[in-house]
């Protein structure tokens, strides 16, 4: 914990010092090379007014039809974003999400304090900066009806926790930086272990709901945007899971987490591509499985590759993106002790389809997926269709 705090303090004061003699735009203000997401758009809108409220939102209505099974129609999510500007330095951003019509979540709620033009302090419920989709998950920002499965099983999207940290941009170096301390995943709720071999860390997200904490975790990301059309990202997350009071300190109730991610996005003319690689190493999983009877792996990893091409002339205001994506991810990349790797947890997917952007804020999507696991004859298909908006 002291190492994390010392590093965080060093990073913060280094950036403050570096910004004193530079004139740099706010982190929330986009340039031609900086892609933005929902909360960044809210901050950008707030920068244009002296004081007051701004709002935005996004939503998805989807149809999923697996082979030989009933299909599903779902208002998967409807999200409302609100921002309030107190003064030139202080803003508040929150995101309220309605999932499947009946579930309500607070996905983000943080105060942003602009210490200097290139340094922002943030505190509250925030997205953990890991990979692409966890921060950039608005439906018009990615191809495919569903988000990449890698970002569901491994990252795990949408991953948000309560923390404090620093964020900003150094335009002279074409870098965007983020560094936070968060509460960790929950690994034992007092009744049973909540992490598993199939879902990895996903079941441990605390989401700011009466989160328990006894050790803070460190998260950071650097994004480079100095080459036209190219965006590179390097993410890191390090720490330990949490257990409730009557389990904390018991051997095997918590595990160590070290996660690294690399991502790249590229667009030139009609062509675009993206890739993401995630590797998570977990310590003490043997003891955790012995205590809880779970099957948590000690390594979780995966990657995907995607290419897309706009089939409409570049002069058109609308876009028709044809794309193909390949994913390979395994929540049992390696196991500890006597636990045998489960081939069903090694999953591969091909997804190909179309994204028809009627306008910058609306899209119709359709695709087909071939899904398989490490078990022979496990391949099956699924057709997906949906509509998404973002404003």
Q: Which CATH class is domain 2-390?
A: mainly beta
CB neighbourhood size of 299 (10 A):
17
Mean predicted confidence (pLDDT) in 37-60: 96
Q: Which two tokens stand for residue 286?
A: 């043997």
Q: How confident is the model at residue 117 (pLDDT cuts 50, 70, 90)?
A: confident
- Quote the pLDDT of residue 107: 97
Q: How confident is the model at residue 14 (pLDDT cuts 50, 70, 90)?
A: very low
- Quote the pLDDT of residue 257: 98
Q: Which two tokens stand for residue 334?
A: 């390696």
Q: What are 124-181's pLDDT values in tens digits?
A: 999 999 999 999 999 999 999 999 999 999 999 999 999 999 999 999 999 999 999 9
- Quote the pLDDT of residue 8: 43
Name 265's bridge partners.
231, 274
CB neighbourhood size of 67 (10 A):
11
More confident: 219 or 29:
219
Name 114's bridge partners.
120
Q: DSSP code of 36?
A: -
Cβ neighbours for 381, distance < 8 A, ≥ 6 positions apart: 66, 67, 368, 369, 370, 371
Cβ neighbours for 258, distance < 8 A, ≥ 6 positions apart: 237, 238, 280, 281, 282, 283
Q: What are 326-347's pLDDT values in tens digits?
A: 999 999 999 999 999 999 999 9
- Report the Cα–Cα distance between both ends of the chain, in Å, rounded: 40
- Quote the pLDDT of residue 34: 58
Q: How confident is the model at residue 25 (pLDDT cuts 50, 70, 90)?
A: very low
Q: How confident is the model at residue 249 (pLDDT cuts 50, 70, 90)?
A: confident
Measure Cα distances from 329 to 52, 129, 149, 150, 167 in Å: 45, 20, 9, 6, 30
Which own/partner pairs from 360-363 qualify as long-range (CB within 8 Å, at least 24 positions apart)? 360/140, 361/140, 361/389, 361/390, 361/391, 362/140, 362/387, 362/388, 362/389, 362/390, 363/139, 363/140, 363/387, 363/388, 363/389
Q: What are 168-195's pLDDT values in tens digits?
A: 999 999 999 999 999 999 999 999 999 9
User: Cβ distance 319 to 310 under 8 Å?
Assistant: yes
Mean predicted confidence (pLDDT) in 17-22: 38
- Quote the pLDDT of residue 64: 98
- Lowest-confidence range among 25-34, 118-127, 145-154, 314-323? 25-34
Domain residue limits, the chain? 2-390
Instruction: Determine what percent of the chain is predicted with pLDDT higher than 70.
Output: 91
- Quote the pLDDT of residue 337: 93
Alpha-carbon Rg of the chain, whole angstroms?
A: 21
Inform me whether the pLDDT recorded for 1 exceeds 50: no
Q: What are 187-230's pLDDT values in tens digits?
A: 999 999 999 999 999 999 999 999 999 989 999 999 999 999 99
Inform me whether the pLDDT recorded for 27 exceeds 80: no
Rounded CA-CA distance 302/155 in Å is 10
Mean predicted confidence (pLDDT) in 57-62: 98
Residue-level length of the chain: 391
Q: Residue 152: enclosing H or E segment and its boundaries? A: helix 150-153
Name 260's bridge partners.
236, 279
- Quote the pLDDT of residue 115: 94
Average pLDDT, the chain: 92
Rounded CA-CA distance 276/327 in Å is 10
Inform me whether the pLDDT recorded for 80 exceeds 90: yes
DSSP, residue by residue, 167-216: EEEEGGGTEEEEEEEEE--EEE-SSSB--BTTTBTGGG--TTSS---SSE
SS (H, E, C) 42-85: HHHHHHCCCCEEEEEEEEEEEEEEECCCCCEEEEEEEEEEEEEE
Inform me whether the pLDDT recorded for 362 exceeds 70: yes
Q: What are 278-308's pLDDT values in tens digits?
A: 999 999 999 999 999 999 999 999 999 999 9
Cβ neighbours for 20, distance < 8 A, ≥ 6 positions apart: 116
User: Cβ distance 185 to 240 under 8 Å?
Assistant: no
Rounded CA-CA distance 148/52 in Å is 36
């Amino acid at each position: 914990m002291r190492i994390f705090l010392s590093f965080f303090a060093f990073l913060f004061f280094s950036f403050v010092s570096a910004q004193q003699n530079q004139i740099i735009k706010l982190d929330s203000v986009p340039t031609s090379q900086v892609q933005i997401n929902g909360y960044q758009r809210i901050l950008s809108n707030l920068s244009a007014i002296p004081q007051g409220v701004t709002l935005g939102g996004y939503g998805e209505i989807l149809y999923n039809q697996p082979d030989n099974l009933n299909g599903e129609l779902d208002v998967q999510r409807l999200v409302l974003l609100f921002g309030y500007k107190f003064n030139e330095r202080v803003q508040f951003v929150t995101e309220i999400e309605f999932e499947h019509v009946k579930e309500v979540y607070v996905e983000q709620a943080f105060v942003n304090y602009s210490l200097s033009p290139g340094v922002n302090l943030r505190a509250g419920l925030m997205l953990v900066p890991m990979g692409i989709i966890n921060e950039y998950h608005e439906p018009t920002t990615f191809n495919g009806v569903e988000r990449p499965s890698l970002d569901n099983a491994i990252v795990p999207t949408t991953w948000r926790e309560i923390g404090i940290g620093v964020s900003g941009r150094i335009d002279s170096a074409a870098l965007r930086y983020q560094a936070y301390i968060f509460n960790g995943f929950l690994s034992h709720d007092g009744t049973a272990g909540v992490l598993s071999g199939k879902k990895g860390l996903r079941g441990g997200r605390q989401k700011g709901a009466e989160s328990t904490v006894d050790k803070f975790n460190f998260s950071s990301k650097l994004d480079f945007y100095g080459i036209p059309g190219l965006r590179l990202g390097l993410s890191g997350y390090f720490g330990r899971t949490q257990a409730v009071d009557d389990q904390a300190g018991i051997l095997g109730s918590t595990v160590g987490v070290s996660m690294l991610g690399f991502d790249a996005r590229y667009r030139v003319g009609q062509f675009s591509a993206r890739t993401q690689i995630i590797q998570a190493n977990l310590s003490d999983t043997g003891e955790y499985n012995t205590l809880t009877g779970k099957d948590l792996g000690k390594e979780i990893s995966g990657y995907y590759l995607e290419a897309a091409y706009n089939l409409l002339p570049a002069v058109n205001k609308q876009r028709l993106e044809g794309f193909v994506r390949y994913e390979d991810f395994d929540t049992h990349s390696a196991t500890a002790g006597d636990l045998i790797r489960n081939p069903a947890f090694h999953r591969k997917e091909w997804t190909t389809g179309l994204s028809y952007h009627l306008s910058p804020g609306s899209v119709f999507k359709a695709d087909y997926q071939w899904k398989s696991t490490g078990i022979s004859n496990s391949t099956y298909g699924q057709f997906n269709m949906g509509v998404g908006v973002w404003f």
